[in-house]
Amino acid sequence: MKRILYLLTAILLTTGVANAQIDKGSIWYSDFYKIVCSSVSGNSFKFDLGSWGDEDDHFTLTKTGNNAYSIKSNEEYSFLEKITTVEYRVVEGTKLLLFKDAKGNIIYHFERTDDEMWEPQILKGYHAIINGTYVDAKGTKYTINDGEFTTGGKTLHFSIDPERYNFLDMEDGKLYWWVVTTTGINIYKTIEGEYGPEMDALWLKLKNVSPNGRWAFLSTEIVNNNTMWRFPSGLIRLMRNEIYARHGYVFSSADLKAYFSKQPWYKPLNNNASVKLNAIEELNIELLKANETAAREGTDDEEIEEGLQ
């Protein structure tokens, strides 16, 4: 009797997990793109493309395993060309759909959320990238922290428009253009151009001197493509490898070894086998690697990067 009850419980739990993965009406975001599960039929889940297509455009996920789905669209969509499978994964309570190519590389990832929460998540990502302690060439200290720009005891508040992410809109009415570099951040003045504000003269060239590293958030927060795809591959490579460096990973690449050896927080171990990553770090490495590859294929790093220093 106990065995029968156990089996029934297992079946119910398994069915409950499967049904809970994707619900009708659930909203999933990647960058500014939204997909909505419009109908469920057995193990098949129809998604409307929302901002990715017209009203009738959709694709269907069919469950093929515990967390695996095949994908089929009603039309040939360029953004789905490389996608062969979709994986459902829960990381620290966040539900994800990971769109993968034939080699298992993540091409897109969608997070289950709602319309009210997604934009704040994007903005949080941008702030996390530029938050930190900096110095200029004269040694003057600057602190950027979640919309506050502080130097010399004075603080200016600024905002970031998620659709114009590269602008810092200061409370004094001035608009600046920011660019993340391998060593810190460059902030430029702007001028009004034919199609809106344009980058002008360099205002500040700042070096990051944060005592705990530049991207500590990568151990606790899932990155989103909307933040990452805008950066060159070399910079994303540093972000990805900082995750390993925080755990004392010993690098074989000469440039990475030289870069991280200059970081006061870096404490290399004797054995890389003892490096253990948490679930968020493992996922972020997958996501950053995908963005790194995409950036390498789509941009000329030599034109937009300042090399490793």
* Topology adopted by domain 216-304: Methane Monooxygenase Hydroxylase; Chain G, domain 1 (1.20.58)
Band of the pLDDT at 226, cuts 50, 70, 90? low
| Cα→Cα distances 168→52, 68, 76, 261, 295, Å | 28, 41, 39, 32, 24
- Find the helix or strand (DSSP H, E) in which 141 lies: strand 141-145
Average pLDDT over residues 127-154: 95
More confident residue, 85 or 163: 85
The answer to whether residues 277 and 153 touch, using CB atoms and an 8 Å cutoff, is no
> By CB neighbour count within 10 A (0-12 exposed, 13-18 middle, 19+ buried), where does 214 fall?
buried
pLDDT score recorded for residue 298:
65
The CA distance from 45 to 256, in Å, is 44
Q: Is the pTM of this model over 0.75?
A: yes
The CA distance from 51 to 53, in Å, is 6
Report the 10 Å Cβ neighbour count for 9: 10
Domain edges within the chain:
21-113, 132-208, 216-304
The CA distance from 307 to 20, in Å, is 47
The answer to whether residues 279 and 256 touch, using CB atoms and an 8 Å cutoff, is no
22-73: per-residue pLDDT in tens? 999 999 988 767 889 999 999 999 999 865 556 678 899 999 999 999 999 8
Q: Which of 150-159, 182-191, 288-297 has the lowest mean pLDDT?
A: 288-297
* Topology adopted by domain 21-113: Lipocalin (2.40.128)
Residue 231 has pLDDT above 60, yes or no: yes
Q: What DSSP state is assigned to residue 19?
A: H
More confident residue, 23 or 307: 23
Classify strands 132-135 and 196-208 as parallel, antiparallel or unpaired: antiparallel
> By CB neighbour count within 10 A (0-12 exposed, 13-18 middle, 19+ buried), where does 2 fall?
exposed
Residue 135 has pLDDT above 60, yes or no: yes
pLDDT score recorded for residue 3:
53
Residue 203 has pLDDT above 80, yes or no: yes
Residue 248 has pLDDT above 50, yes or no: yes
182-193: per-residue pLDDT in tens? 889 999 999 999
Band of the pLDDT at 82, cuts 50, 70, 90? confident
159-178: per-residue pLDDT in tens? 988 777 889 999 999 999 99
Residue 283 has pLDDT above 60, yes or no: yes
> By CB neighbour count within 10 A (0-12 exposed, 13-18 middle, 19+ buried), where does 169 fall?
middle
Place of tokens 């702007």: 190
- Averaged pLDDT score across all residues of the chain: 84
- Find the helix or strand (DSSP H, E) in which 159 lies: strand 154-161
Residue 309 has pLDDT above 70, yes or no: no
Beta strands in 14-123 (DSSP E): 27-30, 33-41, 44-48, 58-63, 68-73, 85-91, 94-100, 106-113
Average pLDDT over residues 88-94: 93
The answer to whether residues 32 and 38 touch, using CB atoms and an 8 Å cutoff, is no
What percent of the chain shows pLDDT beyond 70? 85
More confident residue, 228 or 154: 154
